[in-house]
C-alpha cells in the first residue's frame, strides 16, 4: 500500500475512534441499509464559504454573495469519501433562532461557526453527511437584501445547490476560490416555516442535484400566506417580515424592502407580478425532487391551504412524496414525536441521498394524528374514498339552519360585525345572533371522516361594494382533544432533555423534551376560509358588488383531516369580518344568503344524517385565545 494511503488510514483512525473499515466498494459509514455514526463530530471540518448568486438584490452593482456554514466529516475528506449534503437555508440564524429553544448560530474567535441550531449536524455528520446552513440573502452574514420568499432568497439557496454541483462560484474568506470537491452533489433541503418555504421554492426551479426536500409548516404561495382570498392578513406585512430578518447595515436594504411593500399592493389585495414571483405552485411542473411534507392540521400561522394545494399539485405530477399531519399548530415534529421523527427522517435521507434501499418508500405514505393524540397511517392522502359531496343548507327553524337536508328556498340575513371574535361566533349555535348564519347537521350516528379541502359556495346579495366572508366548519361535541390553542400551539416544554447525535463544548446535541397539551371541550373549530367578495370574479382585480344583485361567491377553506365522532354535530358558521386572523376592510355590510344557491362542498367518507330541524346543542365554550396573526403573538417561525 502506498505510504500516503497508510498515513491517511492512520489519520482516520486517530480522529475517529469509532470508525470502522468497510469491505471494498462499501462506504465506511453504511451498515446494511442504514448509515451509522462512525465519524467524529468533535473533529469535523467546520468552514465557511461565500457563494455567488445571480442576483443583485441590494442594488450595489455586484452579484450578491451568501454565506454558507458547513460541518462535514474530516475522516471522509481525508480518505477521499464524498458525502451528500443536508441543507437548511434560513433568515433566522441571527434574528430569531431556530427550534423550540430559539437557537442561533455561534462563532469561534476566528469567525468559524462552532454552534449550529438544531440537531441535523450533530446527528447526521457522524453518519456520513455534510450539513450546510445558508444565511439567506440580506440576513445574518450574507450580502444582498431579504425579499420575503422572492427571487433573491430562492436564488441564493439555489446558487448553493449549484455550487455543490460545480455550477456556481464559491469563495473563501480571503477571496480565494472554494470548490465543493468533497461532496457527491446530492442535496436534501429541510426547514420549518420560512426555511421550508425556500425549500419549496428551490424545488420549483427544478435545479439539478436537489434530490429531496422536507418542508415543515411551510409556504407554497406567499400570496395565500399574506392574503386570504383578497383579504389582507395584516397591513405592511412585507415591511414587517423584511425588517425582522434584515441583517444589513442601516440604509442598505430599507429602500428595497419599501419598494417590495409597495409592489405587494395592500390597497387592493390583488394577486399581481410581485405575488406571482412568490407562487411556487405556478412552477410545480419543474419539481423533480421527492417531497416529505410535514404540517400541523391546526396551524394558524402557515395555514393548511399551503400544504393542501401544494400536495395536490405534486400528486397530479406523480412526484414521490410522504406526509405527516399532526394535530398541533406551528410546531416542529421533533417536538411532537421526537424518536419516531428522527428515525423516519434518517431513513428518508438515507434513501434519497445515500441510495440505500431501506424500504421507506414502501411504508404508508401518510401518518396522521387524530384529535385524541393517536397516530394512524394510510396509503395516501387525502383518504381513499373521500369524495367531494355537496351538503345543502336548510332553513331549519329560521334561527339555526340545517346541514344534510333538502336545499331550501329561504334567504338568511346577517350584518358584518368586526367585533365578533371566533369564540362568540361559534358559541351556542341555537341562539339568534344578527351577525352570523349557523347551519347544523343532525347528530352523527356513525363516524364521519373529513379528508381534503372543503369549500363553501354562497349565493349572496350585499348592500355595500364588498364585504369579507368568513366560513368556519365546527365540530360540536364533547371530546378530549389536543389543545392547539395553548400557548405552545399544542405542546409545552419540560425540564428534562434527550440527546440526538454527538455534542461538543459549544454545540450540544441535547434538547429540552416536550409534551402534548390536551383539553376537554365541547366545541372545536376544524377549518376556516375567507374571501373578499369583490375578488369573487378574480384575485387579480377588484370587481365592486352592485346593490340588489345576486352574486355567487366561493369561499375556499383550509385543508383538513379528522374523524367527527358519533353523537357530535357538524356546524357551518358564516360571518363577515374576522379580526382574529385577518385585517379586513370592514364595511358593516348586510349580507343576504340565498340558501337555494348555497352549499358546503365536503370531502368526506360517510354521510351527514338527513334533518329538517337542527338539533339543540346547548351551551358551548371555546377557549379564550389571543389574536392569531403571527406578528401579534410572535408565532412566525
Catalytic positions are: 193, 299, 330
- Please report which residue ranges of 21-119 form alpha helices under DSSP H: 74-78
Question: Which helix (H) or strand (E) element contains residue 237?
Answer: helix 237-245
For residue 153, give the C-alpha cell: 432568497
Rounded CA gap, 488 and 311, in Å?
Answer: 26
Matching residue, cell 377557549: 623
User: Comparing C-alpha atoms, which of 48, 62, 75 is closest to residue 176?
Assistant: 48
Within 8 A by CB and 6+ apart from 362, the residues are: none
Question: Which helix (H) or strand (E) element contains residue 226?
Answer: helix 222-226
Rounded CA gap, 166 and 293, in Å?
Answer: 29
Query: What is the 8-class DSSP label of residue 96?
Result: T
Burial of 349 (0-12, 13-18, 19+ CB in 10 A): buried
Please give the angle made by the CA atoms of 106, 107 and 111, to the nearest 5 degrees: 155
Residues 524, 221, 94, 116: is their CA dihedral positive or negative? Answer: positive
567 by DSSP, 3-state: which? coil
Q: Burial letters for 217-242: b for 16+ Cβ neighbours within 10 Å, e otherwise?
A: bbbbbbbbbbbbbbbbbbeebbbbbb
User: Comparing C-alpha atoms, which of 91, 96, 87 is closest to residue 147?
Assistant: 91
Rounded CA gap, 164 and 87, in Å?
Answer: 11
| C-alpha 249: how far from chain center | 30
| Contact status, residue 84 vs residue 212, Cβ threshold 8 Å | no
| Contact status, residue 36 vs residue 103, Cβ threshold 8 Å | no
Q: Burial letters for 543-565: b for 16+ Cβ neighbours within 10 Å, e otherwise?
A: eebeeeeebebebbbbbbbbbbb
Cis geometry, peptide bond prior to residue 382 (ω within 30 degrees of 0): yes
Rounded CA gap, 386 and 390, in Å?
Answer: 13
Extended beta strands in 502-589, E state: 510-516, 518-532, 551-556, 560-564, 569-575
Rounded alpha-carbon distances, angstroms, from residue 572 to 13, 400, 457, 614: 66, 10, 12, 12
| Contact status, residue 562 vs residue 297, Cβ threshold 8 Å | yes
Amino acid at each position: 500500500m502506498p505510504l500516503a494511503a497508510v498515513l491517511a488510514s492512520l489519520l482516520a483512525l486517530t480522529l475517529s475512534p469509532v470508525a470502522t473499515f468497510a469491505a471494498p466498494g462499501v462506504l465506511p459509514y453504511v451498515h446494511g441499509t442504514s448509515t451509522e455514526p462512525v465519524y467524529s463530530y468533535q473533529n469535523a471540518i467546520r468552514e465557511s464559504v461565500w457563494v455567488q448568486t445571480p442576483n443583485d438584490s441590494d442594488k450595489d452593482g455586484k452579484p450578491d454573495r451568501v454565506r454558507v456554514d458547513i460541518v462535514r466529516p474530516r475522516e471522509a475528506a481525508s480518505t477521499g469519501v464524498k458525502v451528500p449534503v443536508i441543507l437548511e437555508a434560513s433568515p433566522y440564524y441571527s434574528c430569531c433562532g431556530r427550534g423550540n429553544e430559539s437557537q442561533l448560530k455561534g462563532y469561534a474567535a476566528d469567525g468559524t461557526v462552532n454552534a449550529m441550531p438544531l440537531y441535523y449536524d450533530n446527528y447526521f455528520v457522524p453518519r456520513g453527511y455534510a450539513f450546510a446552513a445558508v444565511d439567506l440573502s440580506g440576513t445574518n452574514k450574507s450580502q444582498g437584501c431579504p425579499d420575503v420568499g422572492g427571487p433573491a432568497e430562492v436564488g441564493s439557496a439555489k446558487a448553493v445547490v449549484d455550487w455543490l454541483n460545480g455550477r456556481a462560484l464559491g469563495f473563501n474568506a480571503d477571496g480565494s476560490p472554494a470548490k465543493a470537491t468533497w461532496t457527491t452533489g446530492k442535496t436534501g433541503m429541510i426547514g420549518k416555516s420560512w426555511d421550508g418555504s425556500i425549500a419549496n421554492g428551490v424545488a420549483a426551479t427544478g435545479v439539478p442535484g436537489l434530490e429531496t426536500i422536507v418542508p415543515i409548516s411551510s409556504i407554497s404561495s406567499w400570496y395565500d400566506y399574506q392574503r386570504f382570498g383578497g383579504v389582507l392578513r395584516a397591513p405592511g406585512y412585507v415591511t414587517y417580515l423584511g425588517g425582522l430578518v434584515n441583517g444589513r447595515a442601516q440604509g442598505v436594504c430599507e429602500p428595497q424592502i419599501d419598494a417590495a411593500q409597495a409592489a405587494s399592493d395592500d390597497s387592493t389585495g390583488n394577486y399581481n407580478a410581485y405575488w406571482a414571483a412568490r407562487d411556487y405552485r405556478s412552477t410545480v411542473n419543474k419539481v423533480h425532487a421527492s417531497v416529505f411534507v410535514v404540517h400541523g392540521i391546526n396551524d394558524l400561522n402557515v395555514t393548511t391551504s399551503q400544504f393542501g394545494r401544494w400536495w395536490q399539485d405534486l400528486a397530479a405530477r406523480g412526484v414521490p412524496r410522504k406526509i405527516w399531519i399532526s394535530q398541533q399548530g406551528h410546531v416542529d415534529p421533533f417536538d411532537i414525536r421526537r424518536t419516531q421523527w428522527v428515525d423516519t427522517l434518517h431513513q428518508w435521507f438515507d434513501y434519497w441521498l445515500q441510495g440505500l434501499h431501506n424500504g421507506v418508500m414502501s411504508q404508508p405514505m401518510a401518518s396522521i394524528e387524530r384529535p385524541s393524540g393517536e397516530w394512524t397511517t394510510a396509503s395516501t392522502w387525502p383518504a381513499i374514498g373521500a369524495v367531494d359531496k355537496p351538503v345543502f343548507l336548510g332553513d331549519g327553524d329560521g334561527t339555526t339552519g340545517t346541514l344534510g337536508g333538502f336545499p331550501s328556498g329561504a334567504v338568511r340575513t346577517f350584518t358584518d360585525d368586526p367585533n365578533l371574535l371566533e369564540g362568540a361566533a361559534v358559541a351556542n349555535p341555537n341562539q339568534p345572533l344578527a351577525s352570523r348564519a349557523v347551519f347544523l347537521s343532525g347528530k352523527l350516528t356513525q363516524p364521519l371522516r373529513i379528508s381534503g379541502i372543503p369549500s363553501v359556495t354562497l349565493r349572496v346579495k350585499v348592500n355595500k361594494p364588498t364585504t369579507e366572508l368568513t366560513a368556519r366548519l365546527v365540530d360540536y361535541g364533547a371530546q378530549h382533544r389536543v389543545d392547539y390553542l395553548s400557548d405552545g400551539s399544542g405542546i409545552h416544554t419540560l425540564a428534562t432533555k434527550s440527546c440526538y447525535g454527538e455534542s461538543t463544548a459549544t454545540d450540544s446535541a441535547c434538547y429540552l423534551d416536550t409534551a402534548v397539551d390536551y383539553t376537554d371541550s365541547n366545541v372545536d373549530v376544524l377549518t376556516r376560509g375567507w374571501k373578499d367578495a369583490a375578488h369573487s370574479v378574480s384575485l387579480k382585480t377588484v370587481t365592486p358588488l352592485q346593490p340588489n344583485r345576486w352574486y355567487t361567491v366561493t369561499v375556499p377553506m383550509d385543508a383538513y383531516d379528522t374523524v367527527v365522532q358519533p353523537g357530535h354535530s357538524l356546524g357551518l358558521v358564516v360571518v363577515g369580518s374576522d379580526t382574529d386572523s385577518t385585517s379586513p376592510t370592514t364595511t358593516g355590510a348586510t349580507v343576504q344568503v340565498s340558501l337555494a344557491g348555497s352549499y358546503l362542498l365536503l370531502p368526506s367518507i360517510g354521510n351527514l344524517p338527513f334533518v329538517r330541524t337542527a338539533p339543540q346543542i346547548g351551551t358551548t365554550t371555546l377557549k379564550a385565545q389571543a389574536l392569531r396573526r403571527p406578528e401579534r403573538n410572535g408565532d412566525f417561525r
